[in-house]
């Protein structure tokens, strides 16, 4: 059942089609409780389960989660290993439910550079959900927006060099077709938890006209109510896209 949102004009507004979340605050959640950082990441996985279910019930078509950035490799090796282990567990334990719920899984970023066993698991998960016609869950793994933009520019440059593309034909739509989010609805709402107020190299092109919402809630505490509050705030925004 889709959530009903009040619009800025006082009427009823539909939920955003595409929501992205920068899931921040796992480490601080653990530190507040005198727990190791991995405990915060474990609770963060639980938040993923809750929010993915809530997004589906609210009628959100696409939920994109910043699961592991290309910069996260700079973290201690032990923490990176724990994060990869949690990803394996998530795929092992949640895939059957994802399939049963009709959710299509999509992964963006340099995920093919992960360990071979993880790549195999991700490929199998994508294949199993490919025929699903429900909402889409997008996991950004080893993702960086600047690298995505550079790769798209290189592909277009190569096509122009080879004579298969007229440079004059490169417009916004053509450029977007080379991005990893090609075919998805435009990004409507980007949420960042934990109080930080920056995009951290996430969906930079796609966020051009997205509504940005920064909330103080740490990611492990983010739940259905928090998502409903975020959607209510989105409903009160006036989206002009440069017009009046």
- Write down the catalytic residue from 72, 201, 221, 223: 72
Pairing of strands 18-22, 62-69: parallel
User: Does 93 carry a binding-site annotation?
Assistant: no
The verdict on whether 24 is a catalytic residue reads yes
User: Does 205 carry a binding-site annotation?
Assistant: no
User: Does 237 carry a binding-site annotation?
Assistant: no
CA dist., res. 107 & res. 17, Å (int) = 18
DSSP 181-243: TTTSPPP-EEEE-TT----TTSSTTGGGG-EEEE--S-GGG--HHHHHHHHHHHHH----TT-
b/e map 47-66, b = 16+ CB within 10 Å? bbeebbebbbebbbbbbbbb
Instruction: Please check whether residue 22 is in contact with residue 200, taking contact to mean a CB–CB distance below 8 angstroms.
Output: yes
User: Does 192 carry a binding-site annotation?
Assistant: yes
User: Does 9 carry a binding-site annotation?
Assistant: no
User: Does 37 carry a binding-site annotation?
Assistant: yes
User: Does 41 carry a binding-site annotation?
Assistant: yes
Q: State the CB neighbour count (10 A cutoff) for residue 93.
A: 11
User: Does 111 carry a binding-site annotation?
Assistant: no
User: Does 28 carry a binding-site annotation?
Assistant: yes
Give the distance, in angstroms, between the CA of residue 24 and the centroid of all CA atoms in the same chain. 12
User: Does 7 carry a binding-site annotation?
Assistant: no
CA dist., res. 230 & res. 105, Å (int) = 23
User: Does 132 carry a binding-site annotation?
Assistant: no
**Binding site, annotated residues for substrate:** 25-29, 37, 41, 69-71, 73, 75, 192, 198-200
**Binding site, annotated residues:** 24-29, 37, 41, 69-71, 73, 75, 192, 198-200, 211
Which residues are known catalytic residues? 24, 72
**Binding site, annotated residues for Mg(2+):** 24, 211
């Amino acid at each position: 059942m889709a959530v009903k949102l009040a619009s800025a004009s006082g009427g009823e507004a539909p939920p955003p089609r595409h929501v992205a979340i920068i899931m921040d605050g796992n480490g601080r959640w653990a530190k507040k409780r005198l727990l190791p950082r991995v405990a915060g990441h474990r609770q963060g996985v639980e938040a993923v389960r809750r929010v993915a279910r809530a997004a589906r019930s609210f009628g959100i078509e696409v939920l994109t989660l910043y699961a592991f950035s290309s910069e996260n490799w700079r973290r201690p090796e032990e923490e990176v290993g724990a994060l990869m282990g949690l990803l394996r567990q998530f795929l092992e334990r949640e895939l059957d439910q994802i399939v049963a719920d009709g959710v299509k899984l999509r992964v963006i970023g340099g995920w093919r550079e992960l360990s071979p066993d993880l790549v195999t698991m991700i490929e199998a998960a994508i294949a199993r959900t490919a025929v699903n016609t429900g909402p889409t869950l997008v996991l950004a793994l080893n993702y960086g927006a600047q690298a995505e933009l550079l790769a798209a520019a290189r592909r277009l440059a190569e096509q122009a060099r080879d004579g298969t593309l007229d440079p004059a034909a490169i417009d916004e739509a053509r450029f977007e077709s080379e991005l990893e989010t090609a075919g998805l609805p435009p990004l409507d709402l980007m949420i960042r938890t934990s109080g930080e107020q920056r995009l951290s190299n996430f969906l930079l092109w796609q966020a051009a006209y997205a509504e940005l919402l920064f909330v103080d809630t740490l990611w492990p505490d983010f739940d259905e109510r928090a998502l409903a509050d975020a959607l209510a705030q989105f409903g009160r925004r006036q989206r002009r896209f440069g017009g009046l």
